[in-house]
Amino acid sequence: MKSMKNLNPPTRYTATAIGMHWLVALLIFAAFGIGWYMTGIHGFTPQKLKLFSWHKWLGVTIFGLAVIRVAWRLLNPVPPLPQGMSRWQRQAAHLVHQLLYALIIVIPLTGYFYSAASGIAVRYLGLFDMPMIIEKNDQLKAILGPTHVWLNYLMAAIVIVHVLAALKHQLIDRDGTLGRMLPFLK
């Protein structure tokens, strides 16, 4: 016997899912912006070191929220995509969401492992050091640094596609897709 919850799927995401979506998005934009800016500062100035700390704090926070967000998504039904949406658009939407979920977990991990491979502990919010799971390793550092950077660029490109698709659905298709994630749209 099916539950009533399955017979009437939600038409929009839960307030928790919406809040976590926008909070994680904001933190990712901040971390990306700080990362971009700090890598352009020559040498190791006090300002650059402070920005590295903020960038790492954001990364750890994003990772923690991503784990919670994935758990929430697994436990709560998502609203169905509009019925008129073509098969390829449905597949593309699922692929983009899966990639974004993977990247919000993998990118902070590559940053953390890059710091560890560099022999630099991540001190979260200046309160405690994250465990050093791996030892200093210059070969791993040489792989993880560029990997972290390029995964961020990949995420930026996917986010741009995600935003453009959402705007297309809102402004051209007018199918209510964007309203599922924006609390002020119907």
% of residues, the chain, pLDDT over 70:
94
Q: Report in angstroms the alpha-carbon separations of 11 from 5, 79, 84, 103, 150.
A: 12, 5, 15, 26, 35
pTM of the model: 0.87
**Hey, what domains does the chain have and what are their CATH numbers?**
16-180 (1.20.950)
Beta pairing partners, 128 = 124
pLDDT tens digit sequence for 78-105: 888 888 888 999 999 999 999 999 999 9
pLDDT tens sequence across 41-75:
998 899 999 999 999 999 999 999 999 999 998 99
Which two tokens mark 114?
A: 């890059």
**Residue 1 pLDDT > 50:** no
Which residues face 124 on adjacent strands?
Answer: 128
154: Cβ–Cβ under 8 A, 6 or more apart, which residues?
103
